[in-house]
Amino acid sequence: MSSQQRTVIIFKSESESTDVYAETLLGHNFRPLFVPTLSFGFKNLEQLSAKLQTPDKYAGIIFTSPRCVEAVAESLQLAELPGGWKLLHNYAVGEVTHNLAMSTLQQLFTHGKQTGNARNLGDFIVDTFDGSRNLPLLLPCGNLATDTLLSKLAENGFCVDACEVYETKCSPQLAECMERALKAENIEFLAFFSPSGVNCANEYFKAHNIAPNQWKLVAIGPSTRRALESLGLKVFCTAERPTVEHLVKVLLNPQESRERLVRDMEHKDLA
């Protein structure tokens, strides 16, 4: 390893996007180490499958994470998603979730991949939806889902059929991977991808009497930043969206991230 490489510990489970993250970060002279923080278990898949068989009863479907797409695919048990869904208003948070729906659900196209988080997706749906609000939007979700999206849609006259289809727990591999990662050289950044990931990592830090503030803490998205700040931790910079491009951008230019955050807070104060 080059002595100039700066190590980034990334609290993110390995997935189809891991290679892209590793290649891109290495290309900018960062050394990424992935620490899985969360594990997932599916539930209520028979209930979800029954809902999926009646697309005529819905205005569309909303995917807020890759796990939601995986739950739909799992509930279908190798059967195809009924074609009627392709005619509806379908949405996804982030490009990874959008791409997964395309690849695993018979090219199901979703809108809103550029929004990056639930709050922005709610604004996008309210601003662009041109269908009937008499039919509900199907929302497969996890046990730790927040009310941000539901509240936004309800306030604007939407009906939402939320179906809890997976549970999020701390990964059993977290401690072993964390111990190995902390032995690396030149650790400069800790990058967190979700509020639940923040909480799981913090449990490890407390149990081992480790002060995370000795490194630069990077939040992916505003909800993750708020989760870190709620624990009394100082956030070094915040990426706008959960992509490696946005992560690299703030690692290379953290000042721009902090200036944008100040502008956003001032804008909210004036609103």
Residue 221: what pLDDT? 86
Six token digits for residue 73: 């695919």
Mean pLDDT throughout 75-97?
94
Residue 2: what pLDDT? 46
What confidence tens digit (pLDDT) does each residue in 177-229 have? 999 999 999 999 999 998 999 999 999 999 999 999 999 999 998 889 999 99
Arithmetic mean of pLDDT over the chain: 90
CATH topology (fold) of 6-37+172-270: Rossmann fold (3.40.50)
Give the residue among 157, 159, 152 at the shortest CA–CA distance from 137: 159
Answer yes or no: is pLDDT of 3 > 80: no
Percent of the chain's residues with pLDDT above 70: 92
Between residues 187 and 271, the one the model is more confident about = 187
**For residue 202, what are the contacts with CB-CB under 8 A and spacing of at least 6?**
212, 231
Six token digits for residue 130: 């041109």
**Residues 220, 239 contacting (CB under 8 angstroms):** yes
Indicate the range of 35-39, 49-53, 82-86, 144-148 predicted with least confidence.
144-148
Query: What count of Cα atoms within 13 Å lies in the side-chain half-sphere of residue 122?
Result: 18
Give, as one character, the DSSP assignment of residue 5. Answer: -
Answer yes or no: is pLDDT of 21 > 60: yes
- CB neighbours of residue 219 within 10 Å: 28
Strand partners, 60: 137
Domain with CATH 3.40.50.10090 in the chain: 6-37+172-270, 41-169
Percent of the chain's residues with pLDDT above 90: 74
Most confident of the following: 52-56, 76-80, 93-97, 249-253:
52-56
Residue 187 to residue 171: CA distance in whole angstroms: 22
Answer yes or no: is pLDDT of 250 > 90: yes
Residue 24 to residue 237: CA distance in whole angstroms: 19
**CATH class for domain 41-169?**
alpha beta
Give, as one character, the DSSP assignment of residue 155. Answer: H
Between residues 177 and 262, the one the model is more confident about = 177
What confidence tens digit (pLDDT) does each residue in 115-132 have? 988 889 999 999 999 988
Residue 123: what pLDDT? 96
